[in-house]
Structure 1
């Protein structure tokens, strides 16, 4: 097995989803913290790994990958022979891809963005972020009323990709109090063998 290295920041939900899947898959990986406060992500050395200057970045042998959801697909495709995390059945496969898109759009523009405002002073529209978050949570609450997981009958990349920023939504003043199904789903993710939590946030640089 090749050597896996994950470049991350401990407060980044995008990086956490990759670290979480690595742990759930039982893989050994070197975790390298990138000092975003000092602009390390914009250094020449880091830009050679990701020209967008963002975490996470994954190195696996000769492969260097960035964009968290793409990394999830890569890891599940290479290291999960049973295809639990990335189903091959067309319907479930499409649903997982839909939830990866949700993570990259509604979650990113809703609870993740709201968290950037409250914790890091990002110049974003708090009301818009809250509206996007609550619209998303309303849909998820109904979706999870008759199922334990976002797709199928077991955890998949859909759950891994959406967990962190939803679990940390209260840090962006977006309450989960009215969404018991979502809270139960978060608890199920946290109960998975190999689960690792994301560090509690403190004032710092937007990630």
Structure 2
């Protein structure tokens, strides 16, 4: 397998993390976003939307981090733990995948990207959105170890990275003890690989 991505991309890290948790061998192929490599014809042949990550597994090409999580869970997890067959549990996993792709990516992740790449954003509005999401998530996680059921699923993988690096977008997580406990649970998993700090935002020091 080959994983095409960018080292500081949270979406790339989600795919890397799950590959590692599943103990799967893969080659990481760096796509230089700063030079526009993701807009070149060779990469667009893999993903016409010009975004990382992309997973190539034999003849199969899967773009989008959440789609990669689903593919890997269905293909390489015979236990069914990571993406349950039970309709209700499966639906709840999908709920968190959707929330990660929209509310999380559209708030905390945008704030981090603004700091990383000196982009102009409506920071007060995005901070308000991020803190609303994390307040709701913190309340939801009270008394829970995982997002869905009593075992880790790809919902946790999908939500982990951009939550963990939210301080790089100036989102302070110190007031969310349930989230911090959940982050620790993910980091204690066998095969966990960290997302390197980019040293921006609240982590600038």
Please classify the TM superposition score into its range, dividing by the shorter chain length.
Answer: over 0.9
What is the CA–CA distance in structure 2 between the aligned matches of 1:75 and 1:52, rounded to whole Å? 21
TM-score of the aligned structures, taking structure 1 as reference length? 0.94
Residue aligned with 1:123, SS = coil
Match of 2:142 among 141, 145, 149: 145
What is the CA–CA distance in structure 1 between the aligned matches of 2:24 and 2:129, rounded to whole Å? 35
* Count of aligned pairs between the two proteins: 200
What is the CA–CA distance in structure 2 between the aligned matches of 1:86 and 1:62, rounded to whole Å? 23
Partner of 1:167: 164
1:54-203 equivalence runs, <5 A:
54-201=51-198
CA displacement 1:117-140 (0-9 Å, x = unmatched) = 222122221111111111101111
> Alignment RMSD, CA only?
1.0
TM-aligned CA deviation for residue 37 of structure 1: 1.5
What is the CA–CA distance in structure 2 between the aligned matches of 1:158 and 1:21, rounded to whole Å? 11
TM-aligned CA deviation for residue 85 of structure 1: 0.6
What is the CA–CA distance in structure 2 between the aligned matches of 1:188 and 1:150, rounded to whole Å? 11
Partner of 1:51: 48
Asked which structure has the greater RCO (Cα within 8 Å, sep 6+), the reply is 1
TM-score of the aligned structures, taking structure 2 as reference length? 0.95
CA contact (8 A) 2:168 2:199 kept: no
Partner of 1:15: 12
Residue aligned with 1:21, SS = helix
Moved over 2 A (4+): none
TM-aligned CA deviation for residue 146 of structure 1: 1.7
